[in-house]
Amino acid sequence: MSTAITLNGRRVLITGSGQGVGRGLAHAFGAAGADVLVNDLRTERAQEVVDEIREAGGTALAVPFDVTDYESVTSAVGQAGSIDILVNNAGNAGTEGFGTRNRFADTEPADWEAFLRVNLYGVLHCTRAVLPAMVSGGWGRILTIVSDAGRTGDPGGAVYGAAKAGAAGLTRSLALENGRFGITANNISLGTMRTPMTEPLWADGGSSPQAKAILSSYAIRRPGSPDDLTHLALVLASDHGSWITGQTICVNGGYSMTL
């Protein structure tokens, strides 16, 4: 019996995979033999990742589009052909940067748009675009990268957390509606990772009060790295994950533990 995870012949679309967590996932899926569609808002970032995957012997194509624009999403998915695995990864922790904390009472509706459009609408758009072909093909995997901000609450990040909780809720309904078509849907909920999104936190070696407070709340006192979730994502996306659905699996250094 082989325990290696291979995704040969599977086509995966990973949103926001021009850097950070998505880039790590794109490399892992490429190494596992999947045909990787590297999406990002920024064309040059997507193309860089494609070049890296190809140099490593994998197969990849850049599919730049904005996940918040449903027409662009459907047009890109239509051109790409059927997609077996969708990783909803594109996210936005706020236009003012990750460290910015705003109490909900101090926000206005105009401030909410940026969070909801990417973190919730982006997931709705991409999932809606790929799902019909998964249903008719009788196989599919949907992974959505969410945040502990949406599970445990996040003082100062309420709207981001609400958007992530909404996306996580969608996953559970997708699992129930589509299990009979051979489709699974799961969330991976992350604690604070070291990626370009959070880089300001670590720029001074993580010595700021905010960085120290975050790390002291983790059993494993370091920020996560994209490598911390890649193997989990591969399992969930493979045939080995065929009886795991509707779940939210935390990759968070032991930040919170629930039964």
Ligand X SMILES: NC(=O)c1ccc[n+]([C@@H]2O[C@H](COP(=O)([O-])OP(=O)(O)OC[C@H]3O[C@@H](n4cnc5c(N)ncnc54)[C@H](O)[C@@H]3O)[C@@H](O)[C@H]2O)c1
Give CA–CA dist 204/200, Å, rounded. 8
Q: Is 238 in the site for ligand X (CB under 6 A)?
A: no
Report the site for ligand X in 198-217 (rule: CB under 6 A): 198
Residue the block writes with tokens 């911390």 = 228
- Map residue 92 onto helix, strand or coil: coil
Please choose, from the candidates 36, 77, 81, the residue with its C-alpha nearest in 3D space to the C-alpha of residue 57: 36
Asked if residue 43 lies in contact with residue 67, where contact means CB atoms within 8 angstroms, the answer is no
Q: Is 41 in the site for ligand X (CB under 6 A)?
A: yes
Q: Is 251 in the site for ligand X (CB under 6 A)?
A: no
Q: How many residues at the interface with ligand X, by CB under 6 A?
A: 31
Give the residue, chosen from 7, 68, 77, 174, that forms a contact with ligand X under the rule CB under 6 A: 68
User: Is 160 an annotated catalytic residue?
Assistant: yes
Q: Is 21 in the site for ligand X (CB under 6 A)?
A: yes
Q: Is 162 in the site for ligand X (CB under 6 A)?
A: no
Which residue of the set 121, 160, 218, 255 is catalytic?
160
Instruction: Choose one: 14-22, 28-36, 79-87, 232-240; the region binding ligand X (CB under 6 A).
Output: 14-22
Please choose, from the candidates 118, 147, 143, the residue with its C-alpha nearest in 3D space to the C-alpha of residue 246: 143
Helices (H), the chain: 20-31, 43-55, 70-80, 109-116, 122-137, 149-152, 158-178, 199-202, 209-216, 227-237
Report the site for ligand X in 100-119 (rule: CB under 6 A): 118
Whichever of 178 and 198 has its CB closer to ligand X, that residue is: 198
Please choose, from the candidates 225, 17, 250, the residue with its C-alpha nearest in 3D space to the C-alpha of residue 150: 250
Residues that bind ligand X (CB under 6 A): 15-16, 18-22, 39-42, 45, 66-68, 89-93, 118, 122, 145, 147, 190, 192-193, 195-198
Task: Kindly list the catalytic residues.
Answer: 160
